Structure 1
Amino acid sequence: MEASKSNQGSALEEESKEPNQLIKGMRSLQFKKIVQDLHSKRSWKEIISNDEEQKIKDGLHTLSYTKPSIIQAAAIPKIRASPNENFLFQSGNGSGKTGAFCVPAIFAVDPSSNDYQVLILANSRELIRQIKQVLDLLSKNTGIKIEIGEGAEIKQCQILVTTPNYFANKVTGRQSINLRSIKLVVFDEADEIFKHTSNLDILQVLVNYLKSNSPIPQYVLFSATFNDDIIENIKSIVTEFNSFKLKKEALVLKGVCQYYLVADKKKKREFLQKYFDMCKQCAMIFTNQKKTATYIQDALKELGNSTEMLIGGGTMSFQERDRIIDGFRKQSFHALISTNVLARGIDVPEVDIVINFDIPVTSNEGYYEPDYANYQHRIGRTGRFGTDGLALTFVENDNDGVNMGHLKSIETHYGTEIKEVKSIEEFLEIYRAMRPYLFVYNDSKQGFDI
């Protein structure tokens, strides 16, 4: 990790049940192969006091945080040091970033005051719910009140977790709240938040408002991916911060074996159907467009497959989105189809396989370029906390080789290898080698069932 100094620069009805699914998911990691040990050599007692450890001990145990991860051991003492400084931390997908800011958020709260004291902003509703689940578990014995910002009213709490859009609509709108006691502001998936011009105006209003707080709040930013343009956007709002960034090669998920298959749209659909005929393991399928996600969902549902679709843009109600995410955590269905709305932060450790129905791309002045960040975040839904997983990307044939060029650019960008497979059978043979205990030989088929 390279350090540098940068200057200028609705209450949910099922809330009480949700942590059980998170716990179940965390414990499922023990059945996966550890490819990369992401634990620190330091113990919790070395980064927080004995009294503090006792307060969150049950939560640490429940979340399987037996030892702090590398990013937790690096970030927590720095965030809590006096005097407070602003920090940008970059750490790989599934490395324990949520715990790295949730622990200091809890200890930043003065339990004797009911004022808003910590503000956590994340890019999607699914992510803020997940963050609250972790906070609820860690703060179980502290009496700290935590709420997520959604719905018509903002509930009084000490830690508020919300999205920039909700903050703009509610907090800076007619229903303003008193943020004069805010001590800590956390941006999770900060590059996604600071990428959008509409968010920059909101964040500038927030920072300007908090400048009159005494003391001025501390700002902490986390993500696996930061590019130069994003850093400049951050500097325009949070003008001074310490930056701890990784080299691109260090972001490679060593446990995730990456493959590609050359296929047109018809072959992609046939591949998915064969996959669900032969394999029922937990998978995520990503598309670039909502209409493609709808096409896949309709096609697979028509053939009797157990899948669900979650897309953003206000097309689904909160209740429907909650039902789908909770059902996926419980493995009530086999695959979740989504756009990039779920590419970031969502932690479902049971996910073994990620399929990119499309190579992720971004538009730049009318031209499409590889979306390096979202490729990394998508495949990071598997291989959580150094475990193994599989990622498969479909590459459509085109006359000028643009799609294959995008894939090769992603390889070069991260200094990794994405190997070709020719068929679903070859891909599942690779999966069988990774998870042999899931497969049973079927004499009648002369092959393996899962």
Structure 2
Amino acid sequence: MSRKVDWAKYVSDAQRISTQIQAVEISSNDQPNERKSDKDDDAPEEFIPAEASLLSKIIRKGLIESKNDIEVQRKDPKSPLYSVKSFEALNLNPNLLKGVYEMGFNAPSKIQETALPTLLADPPQNLIAQSQSGTGKTAAFVLAMLSRVDINKKHPQVLYLSPTYELAIQTGEVAAHLAKFCPEIEMKFAVRGEEVPRNTKLTEHIIIGMPGKVLDWAFKFRVFDLKKIDVFVLDEADVMIATQDHQDQCMKIHKNLSPSCQMMFFSATYDQEVMDFAEHIVKNPITIRLKREKEILDNIAQYYVRCQTHQDKYNALTNIYGTVGVGQAIIFCHTRKTASWLSEKMSKDGHAVAVLSGDLTVEQRINVLDRFRQGKEKVLITTNVLSRGIDVEQVTIVVNFDLPVDLKGKADCETYLHHIGRTGRFGKKGIAINLVDSDHAMEICKAIENHFDKKIRYLNSEDSKEIEKI
């Protein structure tokens, strides 16, 4: 997919491939995931990082970016980080700047204004960044990739790795848009369906692909030299290391890069496993992190309601939803069966409800999410497939119909944070309601409260005056 001049055709090809995809690919063989059968309706819905990654990329197109503050941690306190408030201040190639404005970017987002001076600095700086989709991080590292290209060198100089086929295609699409006025910069997709003849050498400046294909091209076919790569970008690292094959492949690629290669490492989450992986790959980095989780919770009021049965939960839910003046609501259920039951009940009572679960294809899920974003349904009932990955400004209330637990039945605090984080977006106030139907569920609620050191207050769902106060 190398294009010398016709960037519009390049974008068209990427879009055509992307719209043909019906499932997310995460295995090292680039095989699509099989959908769960109906017999799994009673089983907890599994959160699949690659699916969330793809969905979040698609559904955030055109959304207002998150204004969450970020914190910057530098290894060298004598080297203060500065930020920029305009793209002109970055001294970009004028034709790249034209591409930025052509895409509708008027001013840098928070992550862009903080990260781009670092990514474009000389000598090159290594970067570890925690950033959700929708914050502008893709445009940030793509601009850095394009800026580092020396068009006089006819070999790959920049390598971008994605854990999924779809994300690679979409990143290539962003790169093509930004490079619209730079026809001299050439790119190549290293993904399923793209082949190179034996005994040839790649002349493109940028490779955008997946670890398995890149390894084949570098070692089996020897069509490019990893030692000549100047910039290495690892995207969605938390998704990447969720698959052992991808993790091993990334390590092998990294091992064969030049010590002077600039490393850019992006991840939505940073647990200990991710940090260990990051620190092994990225030496002496500047680290950009989202503000701490406790601060993220400051604008979300959390409550719990005591219930006995599913019907009690339903009654509490409808009392609250009918009393609170909400825009849109997301309700999280543990299983597909519960989500289906709840959807039928709410629909019969006249609520405009949509359901999102793992038995839908990616295309069907995107359709459901588009309708919800447009306000055609006010309530979205979902399972763990959406524990991360949707920013809708109008969502003012999130309900945990079932509190999230891990495979051992213990409180899943990370998933809880992602659940209630679907409200209170863009600095607005939000409400999180937890329906507690047993002593065990109450223990889970208390464990979550203790973990975040944030009070989850009792709410009497039958007291309309108390509900109105929230």
Normalising by the smaller structure, the TM-score range is 0.5 to 0.7
Residues 373-426 of structure 1: per-residue CA shift (max 9 Å, x gap)? 2222222323333333333333333169422322322332xxx33333222846
Deviation at 1:43, TM superposition (A): 0.8
1:146-225 matches, cutoff 5 A: 153=193, 183-188=231-236, 190-194=237-241, 196=242, 199-209=243-253, 211-213=255-257, 218-223=262-267, 225=269
Aligned-pair identity in percent equals: 26
Please point out which of 308, 311, 319 is paired with 2:354.
Answer: 308
1:360 aligns with 2:404: yes
Q: Which residue of 2 aligns with 1:442?
A: none
Segments of structure 2 that go 5 or more residues without pairing to the other structure are 1-15, 22-55, 72-81, 197-203
Name whichever of 216-225 and 107-116 sits farther off: 107-116
1:282 aligns with 2:324: no
Matched residues in 2 for 1:316 and 1:20: separation? 16
Residues 250-307 of structure 1: per-residue CA shift (max 9 Å, x gap)? 6424433333333343222233444565667233222344444344334434545333
Q: Which residue of 2 aligns with 1:4?
A: none
1:13-412 matches, cutoff 5 A: 13=19, 25-26=63-64, 42-45=84-87, 48-49=90-91, 51=94, 52-61=96-105, 66-69=107-110, 71-90=111-130, 97-108=137-148, 117-121=158-162, 153=193, 183-188=231-236, 190-194=237-241, 196=242, 199-209=243-253, 211-213=255-257, 218-223=262-267, 225-235=269-279, 238=281, 240=283, 242=285, 244=287, 245=289, 248=292, 251-264=295-308, 265-274=310-319, 281-312=327-358, 315-363=359-407, 367-398=408-439, 401-412=442-453
Question: Would the aligned equivalents of 2:57 and 2:133 in 1 still touch at CA under 8 Å?
Answer: no
Deviation at 1:226, TM superposition (A): 2.0
Instruction: Summarize the Cα distance change of 1:116–1:240 in structure 2 as closer, same or farther, 3 Å threshold.
Output: closer
Question: Would the aligned equivalents of 1:311 and 1:338 in 2 still touch at CA under 8 Å?
Answer: yes
| Residue identity opposite 1:342 in structure 2 | L
RMSD over aligned CA atoms reads 4.8
| Residue identity opposite 2:354 in structure 1 | E
For the pair shown, the structure with the greater C-alpha radius of gyration is 2
Matched residues in 2 for 1:115 and 1:397: separation? 59
Deviation at 1:204, TM superposition (A): 1.7
Deviation at 1:230, TM superposition (A): 3.4
Q: Which residue of 2 aligns with 1:418?
A: 456
- Secondary structure of the residue aligned to 2:354 is strand
Question: Would the aligned equivalents of 1:397 and 1:403 in 2 still touch at CA under 8 Å?
Answer: no
Deviation at 1:56, TM superposition (A): 0.5
Question: Would the aligned equivalents of 1:258 and 1:390 in 2 still touch at CA under 8 Å?
Answer: yes
- Secondary structure of the residue aligned to 2:409 is strand
Q: Which residue of 1 aligns with 2:41?
A: none
Q: TM-score, normalised by structure 2?
A: 0.64
Aligned residues: 390
Question: Would the aligned equivalents of 1:359 and 1:403 in 2 still touch at CA under 8 Å?
Answer: yes
1:429 aligns with 2:463: no
Matched residues in 2 for 1:205 and 1:19: separation? 24
Matched residues in 2 for 1:428 and 1:124: separation? 46
Deviation at 1:22, TM superposition (A): 5.1
Instruction: Summarize the Cα distance change of 1:309–1:241 in structure 2 as closer, same or farther, 3 Å threshold.
Output: farther
Question: Would the aligned equivalents of 1:94 and 1:383 in 2 still touch at CA under 8 Å?
Answer: no
Deviation at 1:320, TM superposition (A): 1.6
Matched residues in 2 for 1:428 and 1:133: separation? 47
Matched residues in 2 for 1:383 and 1:277: separation? 20
Matched residues in 1 for 2:138 and 2:466: separation? 32
Instruction: Summarize the Cα distance change of 1:385–1:77 in structure 2 as closer, same or farther, 3 Å threshold.
Output: farther
- Secondary structure of the residue aligned to 1:283 is strand
Matched residues in 2 for 1:114 and 1:348: separation? 42
- Secondary structure of the residue aligned to 1:352 is strand
